[in-house]
Chains A and B, each alone.
Chain A
Amino acid sequence: MKHFYYIFFVCIGISSCKETTNKYSKIPEKKVPEIVDYNFDVRPILSDKCFNCHGPDAKKRFADLRLDTQEGAYAVLKESPGKHGIIPHKPNESEIYNRIISTDTTQVMPPADSQLTLNDYEKKIIKKWIKQGAEYKTHWSFLPVEKPELPTIENKQLANNEIDYFILHKLKQLNLSPNEMADKERLLKRVSFDITGLPPSLEMQYKFLTDTSENAYEKIVDELLASKHYGEKMASSWLDVARYADSHGYQDDDLRTMWPWRDWVIHAFNENYGYDKFVTWQLAGDLLPNKNLESVLATGFNRNHKINQEGGIIVEEFRIETLTDRTNTFGKAFLGLTFECAKCHDHKYDPISQKEYFSTFAFFEKTPYRRHAGGVGKTLAEKPYLDISTQLIQDSLPFINKKSYENVRSMIMEERQEERQTHLLERGAYDAKGEIVTHDLPKSILAFDKSKFKPNRLGMSDWLFDKKNPLTSRVYVNRIWQEIFGVGIVKTSGDFGMQGDLPTHVNLLNWLSSDFMEHGWNIKRLVKQIVTSSTYKQSSVISEEKQAIDPDNNYLSRSSRLRYSSEMIRDHVLASSGLLNSEVGGRSVKVYQPEGMWKATSSGRGILSSYVQDHGSNLYKRGIYIFIKRTTLPPVQQFFDASTRDQCEVQRQSTMTPLQALIMLNDPTVLEAARVLAEKLILENNSSEKNIEVAFRKIVCRTIKPEEKTIFLDYYKKQEALFKKEQSRAEKFIDVGEYPSENIQETYKVAALMQIIHTMYNMEETIIKS
């Protein structure tokens, strides 16, 4: 409770305004809490304003004063003998406090030229904290995960599972009550997209809407979790984490064929591998005592990084670049930490030294690194790799969807026999070798006990999944939460360190993380827990009050209205129109793309210098299979905030730009879908009213409202009349996409209905989780 108001204020402080405060007197004033807590009240201030010069980085420390540790802060000041940075219980005798309130510009801290200042509230916090004893605590995310008791709530009927206890408890403190449950139609659309990334079919809609049994929703959730499309949905964000792409990423940006690894990711999610197995295979599948081809294929995770094939690179520079990428990815993907900040110097905020950075780096040192020698366009992979033959697939890797004529090589990890020394690199520069370091991992997270863990990537993985590792579970649970609610319990899902956001519900995160480990890192179970909570099932209506008190919906008194990802938008258009090719896996496909995009940017060399579009059913595969050439991203990915795959990303933005409107209005993918659905409906010989109703149900996934129907019917009649009058225009309009036309005589009808359907695709609700 005591931290709650503080966090709350920080979250809405910027966006709220005076008028609102007056109208909704429930908005808490920003008050200094009764008991000031180091982690939640004090450290955010010190970290942001002081640690840059008085923090963990020994080389940049001023006056030899360190404020991130108790010893440092309590010690006698080197430059002012007799004085202490902090004297517990005595703010006025503590030099820190005297400096931050000083009006003397030569004395005040932070110094005037630092561009940083403390406001009155922050000064009061520091004062009170010192008064109360200036107690330091370990950063919350580095404390071991402990399962907290469920909080008490008054209205237990509102809770469906443990998640709700934590959420309702906080809402009560805010004087907010949760929304009603969403209507069944909208709930189904929401959960269907969250689990499979696809809209519910008409059959599924019918089944769910007519099922009045108590567990109707749970049955649907189970059905969705069992779908083969679940793995595709889950893989979608994992590809961001793994910086997956179909090209090498630099300059000529040539072809690579890592997609069998992607097929494995989908397979692993569908088979519901525990998160521990899922990650261990990717990190160290080649080092397992009982390794097999599948676990070796999985190690492609660490080969997805970019490879510079530019003529004349200095090989060692890019070998180091590759190891850097793997180290940073390890930090961000699994530990939610910004390891990269410790490459050139000790981390400025988090307890990761430069030496620890390179000790982590050392785990990847023994991987072979060879530059390809084949020249542009000659190689699909650099060694080591697996040649994915049809035989291999039949014998061991049946989930790889390869056509017999395709040549495919999937890169993998391998350990060299001979030792290679790892040096700390001064300033992070590849050619500035410093002291020799050996395998180790940051001890502030969990000491790397060499008697327990092997000195290789397998040991690294065991360390991650040691029950005492405080981060692995929290970080992944938070990402799954983010995937479903749009924002994590820790907003900065890539930074659980000192500078990251504090969790809005720390106990909930701890409970879920602990529960996740207790149940064998079972991902499907976690997803099910979340989507069956009452919290998840709320409607997304925003009252004026909630808009004012919690505009970002940090406390989940409603469901957030989130825009679909770029992949979901495509998939929705294809699935609802019936165009979707639901084949799982396979080589990446080149779908419609404006002409000349690759040519304009390429050097003219290599097989990817110009775009050769696919045809037939490959045009209608899901978004996850779209070919990603890193240096020229597919426009739909670029416009709808997909990651660039340059490096590991754990969070996408959600923005709104006119280019998004243009793509929805003019992209042949959407127009073709509208045309094909229009033709299908017309062939069914129903009234235009009925056609509108059915199309609407497929696309918006609910019953059309009477006022919506009026608009569409009116629009339809006008369009029909117009196209009847101007036949040639109708013909031009429906001539879009390669999917064969049904050659319906009355083109004006097709054109008119197509226009209606195209309008439906452009409705706000269509591509929103609502």
Chain B
Amino acid sequence: MDKEVFEHSLNINRRHFFKKAAMGMGGVALGSLMVPDLFTGSNEAAIQPTLGLKHFASKAKRIIMLTQNGAPSQLESFDYKPKLRDMFGQELPDSVRGEQRLTGMTANQNSYPLVGSKFDFKQHGDSGMYVSDLFPNIAKITDDICMIKSMHTDAINHDPALTFLQTGSQVGSRPSMGSWLSYGLGSENKNLPAFTVLLSKGKGNGQGVYSKLWGNGFLDSIHQGVQLSASEDPILYLKNPNGMDADSRRKMLNHLGSLNEIGYQEFGDPEIQAKIKQYEMAYRMQTAVPEITDVSKEPDHIKKMYGSDSMIPGTYAANCLLARKLSESGVRFVQLYHQGWDQHSNLVDHMKMQAKDVDQASAALITDLKQRGLLDETLVIWGGEFGRTNYCQGKLTNDNYGRDHHPRCYSLFMAGGGVKAGTSYGKTDELGYNIVENPVHIHDLQATIMHLMGLDHEKLTYKHLGRRFRLTDVHGHVVKDIIA
């Protein structure tokens, strides 16, 4: 598609749409979270899977991102380094460490003793992928996933690194990946936001999440991530006040509509019509959202697959199940955050608990999607904001140790959505400190994710304060080798 036309289509905003509507250019639609309506020009229009704005054909239509917040250790999960066990307690050689900066927590340590995983690794699946014993369920689906062992990032602290992963910048005021995709592709469901966010807490050391991670930055607020929970009020202020049922609400909106119509007669402002529709959309969400977020009606075998936690609202397992439901209903980007992966100390115990928290449900989600025939069109991403050091932070004993932040390499995996299943990509050195083959920078990951969704990361831009911004800033290369 012609560049100008493309940008123009994306830039059509509510205001402009309504100007057209008022000038007899088409039906009246709602400027709202439900982006397709803006483009089709009708609330009642058939839902289009995409806006036809893709740069090229692609398999993936939706994303579920399982952000493991706090940075899970690659050395106890997916990057097998037997040599580290052999070198237990020995100093990290300077030649390996090179120029790498260290955080303020370990920069003053007088020793950097290497430590291998306390947990054993085994090979799994046709591909023979190594997975640690902490993740027995993920181990069973290795033939469905693509493991990147050569992720690296610019930031060394949680907040900037997470912000970087989600927005392509450490600054904290840029649109999140989900906002970019909502902007580029819109939503498939007229009653649900295009970008939703689910939060859960783990059992290990947590580092918090921040609303800027799902902020819309300079994009229109319709692209803001909407926080959802499996609770009585799944979206803030969704529930009618006490003493008011749906019927009363309906009547109120009818009266309100008549009153606003009087205002429209006087002012002729198309925004008034938009406002009426805005309220109608809110009303529809009041019914649609609780139906979606109610996971209790799922069949037993599904509940069993995700684990008993899946019936406890706010857990990672419940969120995974909810993520499937949302995604299945057409939510473009479902973003999960699971806290608790910051194992500076007590790694052995905490990794066990954290892995137990997420292993079953993560695998169940991928299996569930696959069984429904949805995995091809859904891209699942699992990983944190950086990796962890191969040396011990704090006191090293035979039973316990900790690991500091390590931006230079870590592991992350993807499944479905057009990635090569059953493969590993990239390699680290035998001490798991540096990447020796096929590095994937955060911007490369973002470029690849966009590509899998049919978008060219260099073309999806938004002009703000004189500059055309991109998710990938001025960087990023699509990792073609992992695309099926």
Q: Which residues of A are in contact with B by a Cβ distance under 8 Å?
A: 14-17, 19-20, 115-117, 119, 249-253, 306, 308, 310-315, 338, 341, 348-349, 431, 492, 494-495, 497-500, 540-544, 547-548, 551-552, 561, 594, 597, 600-604, 630-633, 635, 638-639, 641, 644, 646-647, 653, 655-663, 665-668, 671, 705, 707-708, 711-712, 715, 718, 722, 729-736, 751, 755, 758-759, 762-765, 770
Contact between A644 and B221, CB atoms less than 8 A apart? no
Q: Nearest chain A CB to B346's CB is how many angstroms away? A: 15
- Hey, which chain A residues are within 8 Å of B279, CB to CB? 658, 661, 665, 762
- Hey, which chain A residues are within 8 Å of B14, CB to CB? 655-656
Q: List 18 A-B contacts (CB under 8 A).
A: A117-B4, A253-B208, A338-B467, A494-B465, A500-B466, A540-B267, A561-B269, A602-B208, A646-B171, A646-B173, A657-B278, A659-B33, A659-B236, A661-B278, A665-B237, A705-B262, A755-B248, A758-B252
- Hey, which chain B residues are within 8 Å of A551, CB to CB? 15-16, 19
Known: A15-B19, A601-B209, A662-B236. 13 other contacts (CB 8 A): A14-B16, A308-B160, A499-B466, A594-B233, A600-B314, A603-B208, A644-B212, A661-B282, A665-B237, A729-B243, A736-B242, A751-B243, A759-B256
Contact between A733 and B243, CB atoms less than 8 A apart? yes
- Hey, which chain B residues are within 8 Å of A348, CB to CB? 467
Contact between A552 and B465, CB atoms less than 8 A apart? no
Q: How far is the CA of A730 from the CA of B248 in the complex (A)?
A: 12
User: Which single member of A495, A604, A667, A707 contacts B237 (CB below 8 Å)?
Assistant: A667
B423 adjacent to chain A (CB < 8 Å): no
Q: How far is the CA of A551 from the CA of B20 in the complex (A)?
A: 10
Q: How far is the CA of A252 from the CA of B206 in the complex (A)?
A: 10
User: Which single member of B104, B211, B252, B278 contacts A638 (CB below 8 Å)?
Assistant: B211
- Hey, which chain A residues are within 8 Å of B227, CB to CB? 600
Q: Nearest chain B CB to A324's CB is how many angstroms away? A: 10
- Hey, which chain B residues are within 8 Å of A638, CB to CB? 211, 224
Known A655-B220, A659-B236; contact A647-B267, beta-carbon cutoff 8 A: no
Q: How far is the CA of A646 from the CA of B217 in the complex (A)?
A: 10
User: Which single member of B24, B158, B233, B281 contacts A658 (CB below 8 Å)?
Assistant: B281
Q: Which residues of B are in contact with A by a Cβ distance under 8 Å?
A: 3-4, 8, 11-12, 14-16, 19-20, 22-25, 31-33, 101, 103-107, 156-160, 171-173, 199, 201, 206-212, 215, 220-222, 224, 226-227, 229, 233, 235-244, 248-249, 251-252, 255-256, 258-260, 262-263, 266-272, 274-276, 278-279, 281-282, 285-286, 314, 339, 404-405, 458-459, 465-467
Contact between B171 and A17, CB atoms less than 8 A apart? no
- Hey, which chain B residues are within 8 Å of A600, CB to CB? 199, 201, 227, 229, 314
Contact between B199 and A541, CB atoms less than 8 A apart? no
Q: How far is the CA of A15 from the CA of B465 in the complex (A)?
A: 20
Interface core residue of B105, B171, B241, B466 (most chain A CB under 10 Å): B466
Which residue of the partner chain B has the closest CB to A250? Answer: B159
Q: Nearest chain A CB to B205's CB is how many angstroms away? A: 8
Contact between A312 and B106, CB atoms less than 8 A apart? yes
Contact between B25 and A19, CB atoms less than 8 A apart? yes
- Hey, which chain B residues are within 8 Å of A759, CB to CB? 252, 255-256, 259
Q: How far is the CA of A722 from the CA of B245 in the complex (A)?
A: 12
- Hey, which chain B residues are within 8 Å of A17, CB to CB? 20, 23, 25
Which residue of the partner chain B has the closest CB to A492? Answer: B465
Q: How far is the CA of A736 from the CA of B241 in the complex (A)?
A: 9
User: Which single member of B211, B266, B272 contacts A631 (CB below 8 Å)?
Assistant: B211
Q: How far is the CA of A313 from the CA of B105 in the complex (A)?
A: 8
Known A117-B3, A540-B267, A601-B210; contact A662-B259, beta-carbon cutoff 8 A: no
User: Which single member of A14, A603, A633, A667 contacts B206 (CB below 8 Å)?
Assistant: A603
- Hey, which chain B residues are within 8 Å of A639, CB to CB? 221
Contact between B101 and A431, CB atoms less than 8 A apart? yes
Which residue of the partner chain B has the closest CB to A722? Answer: B248
User: Which single member of B101, B172, B286 contacts A646 (CB below 8 Å)?
Assistant: B172
Contact between B459 and A115, CB atoms less than 8 A apart? yes
Known A312-B103, A603-B208, A659-B237; contact A541-B11, beta-carbon cutoff 8 A: no
Q: Nearest chain B CB to A761's CB is how many angstroms away? A: 10
Which residue of the partner chain B has the closest CB to A631? Answer: B210
- Hey, which chain B residues are within 8 Å of A734, CB to CB? 243
Q: Nearest chain A CB to B282's CB is how many angstroms away? A: 4
Interface core residue of B201, B270, B276 (most chain A CB under 10 Å): B201
Which residue of the partner chain B has the closest CB to A594? Answer: B236
Known A15-B16, A561-B267; contact A646-B278, beta-carbon cutoff 8 A: no
The 7 closest A-B pairs by CB, nearest first: A499-B466, A733-B243, A312-B105, A312-B103, A732-B243, A631-B210, A661-B282
Contact between A657 and B239, CB atoms less than 8 A apart? no
Which residue of the partner chain A has the closest CB to B207? Answer: A603
Q: How far is the CA of A763 from the CA of B251 in the complex (A)?
A: 14
Which residue of the partner chain A has the closest CB to B210? Answer: A631
Interface core residue of B31, B106, B237, B240 (most chain A CB under 10 Å): B237
Q: How far is the CA of A500 from the CA of B212 in the complex (A)?
A: 26
Contact between B465 and A338, CB atoms less than 8 A apart? yes
Interface SS of chain A: loop
Contact between B274 and A656, CB atoms less than 8 A apart? yes
Q: Nearest chain B CB to A81's CB is how many angstroms away? A: 33
Q: How far is the CA of A3 from the CA of B32 in the complex (A)?
A: 36
Contact between A312 and B278, CB atoms less than 8 A apart? no
Q: How far is the CA of A661 from the CA of B244 in the complex (A)?
A: 16
Q: Nearest chain A CB to B319's CB is how many angstroms away? A: 12
Q: How far is the CA of A601 from the CA of B338 in the complex (A)?
A: 10
Known A115-B3, A251-B207; contact A653-B220, beta-carbon cutoff 8 A: yes
Q: How far is the CA of A437 from the CA of B212 in the complex (A)?
A: 34
Q: How far is the CA of A730 from the CA of B244 in the complex (A)?
A: 9
Which residue of the partner chain A has the closest CB to B220? Answer: A655
Q: How far is the CA of A705 from the CA of B262 in the complex (A)?
A: 9
Contact between A540 and B255, CB atoms less than 8 A apart? no
Which residue of the partner chain A has the closest CB to B244? Answer: A733
- Hey, which chain A residues are within 8 Å of B207, CB to CB? 251, 603
Contact between A665 and B210, CB atoms less than 8 A apart? no
Q: How far is the CA of A770 from the CA of B267 in the complex (A)?
A: 9
Q: Nearest chain B CB to A639's CB is how many angstroms away? A: 8
Interface core residue of B107, B172, B272 (most chain A CB under 10 Å): B172
- Hey, which chain A residues are within 8 Å of B171, CB to CB? 646-647
Q: How far is the CA of A597 from the CA of B237 in the complex (A)?
A: 12
- Hey, which chain A residues are within 8 Å of B208, CB to CB? 251-253, 601-603, 631
Q: How far is the CA of A753 from the CA of B374 in the complex (A)?
A: 51
Contact between A764 and B105, CB atoms less than 8 A apart? no
Which residue of the partner chain B has the closest CB to A540? Answer: B267
User: Which single member of A644, A647, A656 contacts B275 (CB below 8 Å)?
Assistant: A656
Q: Nearest chain A CB to B14's CB is how many angstroms away? A: 6
User: Which single member of A250, A552, A635 contacts B236 (CB below 8 Å)?
Assistant: A635
Q: Nearest chain B CB to A225's CB is how many angstroms away? A: 28
Contact between A542 and B238, CB atoms less than 8 A apart? no
- Hey, which chain A residues are within 8 Å of B31, CB to CB? 655-656
Q: How far is the CA of A467 from the CA of B248 in the complex (A)?
A: 62
Q: Nearest chain B CB to A190's CB is how many angstroms away? A: 13
- Hey, which chain B residues are within 8 Å of A115, CB to CB? 3, 458-459
Which residue of the partner chain B has the closest CB to A604? Answer: B206
Contact between B101 and A314, CB atoms less than 8 A apart? yes
- Hey, which chain A residues are within 8 Å of B458, CB to CB? 115
Interface core residue of B8, B19, B209 (most chain A CB under 10 Å): B19
Which residue of the partner chain A has the closest CB to B218? Answer: A653
Q: Nearest chain A CB to B450's CB is how many angstroms away? A: 15
Contact between B241 and A671, CB atoms less than 8 A apart? yes
